C-alpha cells in the first residue's frame, strides 16, 4: 500500500514572484525594442573591400627588388582624409591684427589660424589650394567669413603658405589633418 505524504504548502507570494520573474523574460519593454542589443560594429570607411573575384598572382622568388617591394607594402599608409568642405577661401590680416577673435584670444596675422562659421574653436583643418596644390594646416580661432561665397578666412601667414596673398581668394578644399 502506498502511503500518502502530507502536501507541503507553498506560500502564494513565492509563486507570484517566480511567475513575474519568468514572464518578465518573455516580454519586451513598451518601446518595442529588446532590453539589450548587441552594438553594431561597422568596418572602418577606409578598410579595403574584399573581392572574391580578385585574380591571384603567382608567388615571386625572393630577390633584392621583391624584398624592397614587400617592405614598402608593409609600411603603414594614411587613410584618405574626410572632406569637411569645398569653396572659396580669403584672408584677413593687418586691419584685425591684435584685436580679439571670437574665442577671446588676440588675432595674430603671423600665425597659422583661420575663421570658420561652424567648426569648433581649436579644430585643426588642412586647407589645400586647388589651383596650385599647396596645403597648410590651420587652427580655427575665429568666426567668419561673413561673405556668402566663402567658406574660410585665413590669417595672412596661412594665405602666404597657400600663395593666395596676391589674388586674395582661391578655390580650396578643407579636410581633416
Does position 47 have pLDDT exceeding 50, yes or no?
Answer: no
| d(C-alpha 158, C-alpha 167), whole Å | 14
- What 3 state SS string does the chain have? CCCCCCCCCCCHHHHHHHHHHHHHHHCCCCCCCCCCCCCCCCCCCCCCCCCCCCCCCCCCCCCHHHHHHHHHHHCCCCCCCCEEEEEEEEECCHHHCCCECCCCCECCCCCCEEECCCCCCCCEEEEEECCCCCEEEEEEEECCCCCCCEEEEECHHHHHHCCCCCCCEEEEEEECC
- Among 16-30, 36-50, 133-147, which range has the highest average pLDDT? 133-147
pLDDT at residue number 73: 57
pLDDT at residue number 102: 94
pLDDT at residue number 48: 45
Q: What is the mean pLDDT of residues 25-33?
A: 52
Does position 146 have pLDDT exceeding 60, yes or no?
Answer: yes
Higher pLDDT, 84 or 57: 84
**Spatial contact of 140 and 115, defined as CB atoms under 8 Å apart:** yes
Count of residues in the chain: 177
Per residue in 100-138, pLDDT tens?
999 999 999 999 999 999 999 999 999 999 999 999 999
Q: How many Å is the Cα radius of gyration of the chain? A: 32
Does position 49 have pLDDT exceeding 50, yes or no?
Answer: no
What is the number of alpha carbons within 13 Å of residue 5 lying toward its C-beta? 3
Give me the CATH topology for the region 83-175. Answer: Barwin-like endoglucanases (2.40.40)
Amino acid at each position: 500500500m502506498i502511503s500518502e505524504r502530507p502536501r507541503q504548502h507553498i506560500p502564494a507570494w513565492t509563486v507570484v514572484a517566480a511567475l513575474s520573474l519568468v514572464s518578465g523574460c518573455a516580454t519586451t519593454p513598451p518601446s518595442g525594442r529588446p532590453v539589450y542589443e548587441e552594438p553594431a560594429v561597422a568596418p572602418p570607411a577606409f578598410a579595403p573591400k574584399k573581392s572574391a573575384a580578385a585574380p591571384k598572382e603567382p608567388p615571386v622568388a625572393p630577390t633584392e627588388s621583391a624584398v624592397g617591394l614587400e617592405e614598402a607594402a608593409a609600411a603603414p599608409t594614411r587613410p584618405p582624409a574626410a572632406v569637411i568642405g569645398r569653396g572659396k577661401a580669403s584672408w584677413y590680416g593687418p586691419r584685425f591684427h591684435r584685436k580679439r577673435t571670437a574665442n577671446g584670444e588676440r588675432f595674430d596675422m603671423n600665425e597659422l589660424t583661420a575663421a570658420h562659421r561652424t567648426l569648433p574653436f581649436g579644430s585643426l583643418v588642412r586647407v589645400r589650394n586647388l589651383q596650385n596644390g599647396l596645403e597648410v594646416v590651420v587652427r580655427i580661432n575665429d568666426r567668419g567669413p561673413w561673405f556668402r561665397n566663402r567658406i574660410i578666412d585665413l590669417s595672412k601667414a596661412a594665405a602666404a603658405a597657400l600663395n593666395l596673398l596676391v589674388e586674395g581668394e582661391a578655390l580650396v578644399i578643407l579636410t581633416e589633418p
